[in-house]
Each structure stands twice: as structure tokens, then as C-alpha cells.
Chains A and B, each alone.
Chain A
Amino acid sequence: QKEVEQDPGPLSVPEGAIVSLNCTYSNSAFQYFMWYRQYSRKGPELLMYTYSSGNKEDGRFTAQVDKSSKYISLFIRDSQPSDSATYLCAMTIGGSARQLTFGSGTQLTVLP
């Protein structure tokens, strides 16, 4: 079993839809959670990071962490064609940890 599981998709939605991207994990010690966006042939860019459980909102993006269920989500409101990319979740224990554990990524296409 992988430490972090992420549905690879591909996921296609019409422009303006609400998108839900999810990851589950097995290590209850994870405390810091991140979402990255990666456009084709580019490096991943950090979208959001959160600590422990709860919600964090940034514009059209909302990150949600449920540590009791070991489940994290990224919601995209009013999705745009420019949101078409692969989204990767990542997480780490914290403290002296120097390694992020990544999900395999979900490929999203927003159709105009």
C-alpha cells in the first residue's frame, strides 16, 4: 500500500464547475499538507499548504484536511480552462523531516 493515494484521473469538467481533488494517506504522523499544480512539461508549483486539520481558502481554491479520516481535498470553484493541469498532493511529518511524500497526481481538464 502506498503511503499516499491519489486518483490519477483523468478528470474532465466543464468551465465553471466545482472541482474536488482528493488524497488519502496511511501515516497518521503527517501534519503538514500541500497541493501543487503542474502544467505539462513544467515543474510543480506550490498552490497551498495547511497545517493539521481544517480548511484554508485562497481565492477560488480551498484546501481541506480531515486528519481523523486521513483524507485531504482541494476544491476549485468556478473552474477555468487555465486550471487544466496535474494536481499533486504532498505531505510531511514536520520537525526535522526533510522529505515530502507526494501523491501520483490527478490530471484535470477544464473544457471551455
Chain B
Amino acid sequence: SQTIHQWPATLVQPVGSPLSLECTVEGTSNPNLYWYRQAAGRGLQLLFYSVGIGQISSEVPQNLSASRPQDRQFILSSKKLLLSDSGFYLCAWSRDSGLRGYTFGSGTRLTVV
């Protein structure tokens, strides 16, 4: 069966510090991978998606970047965090174009102080 791992679960970082969140998927190959941010009362905002190694599409210009160094690994990064980067970050995967939905990780609660 397929599983998705996302860590850390919670993170408190000072303004201006770097960020690296990691997500890995097991039990499938060539998944589509996604990074979302969820703000209270505002739903899920797609940040990046990837259809293959090294292929990243950005949906929202911002202080963050993503990379996919391996087929089942997706990394969200920032060189210098802003207060506005605080939020709940979710990684997800899907087969093909995700017509039957996505499978989400358990999320990372990031607080920038």
C-alpha cells in the first residue's frame, strides 16, 4: 500500500532563518507531488506541484521554493523565512492527474517568530 511521510510535525523558526520541509512517498512510482499551505478559514492554497524528477511548477510567487531530487521525494525550502510564512503545510501525492483525489500527509505546523 502507498504511504506518505511528512516531517517535522511542528516547527518554530525565527524570522530570517532557512526552512526545509521534506515529504516522501512509498509504495508507488512516478507520483504527482504537491505542496499546499492551509490558512485558517481560507482553505488550501496550492504552492507547487511536480510531475517528475526536477520538474516543478509554481502556482504562487513567494518566498518559497520546491525541489524534487528523487522520484518520491519532495522538498519545500526557503532561504529566509518571513512572519507571513507561518501556516500549516501539507504535502500530497496523486496518480496521474489526480482525478480520484489526492492523498495528503499529516502536515507541518510552521510558526515563524
Q: Residues on A close to B: CB < 8 A?
A: 6, 8, 32, 34, 36, 41-46, 49, 51, 88, 90, 92, 94-100, 102-105
Contact = CB atoms under 8 A, between A and B. Distances in A.
Contacts of B105: 43
B82 interface: no
Nearest to A43: B104
Contacts of B41: 8, 104-105
Interface in B1-30: 6
Interface of B: 6, 32, 41-44, 46, 49, 51, 57, 59, 90, 92, 97-107, 109
B97 A46 contact: no
A99 B107 contact: no
Contact of A46 (B43, B57, B103): B103
B104 A45 contact: yes
A70 B106 CA distance: 31
B60 to A, nearest CB: 12
B101 A104 contact: no
Contacts, number: 63
Contacts of B101: 34, 36, 46, 49, 90, 100
Contacts of A45: 104
Nearest to A51: B99
Nearest to B103: A46
Nearest to A98: B97
Given A42-B106, A43-B104, A45-B104, A98 B32 contact: yes
Nearest to A45: B104
Contacts of A36: 101, 104
A61 to B, nearest CB: 14
B97 A97 contact: yes
Contacts of B44: 44, 88, 102
A67 B98 CA distance: 20
B1 to A, nearest CB: 14
Given A42-B106, A96-B97, A102-B43, 20 more contacts: A36-B104, A41-B109, A42-B107, A44-B44, A46-B100, A46-B101, A49-B99, A49-B101, A51-B99, A88-B44, A92-B97, A94-B97, A97-B99, A98-B32, A98-B51, A98-B57, A98-B98, A104-B41, A104-B42, A105-B41
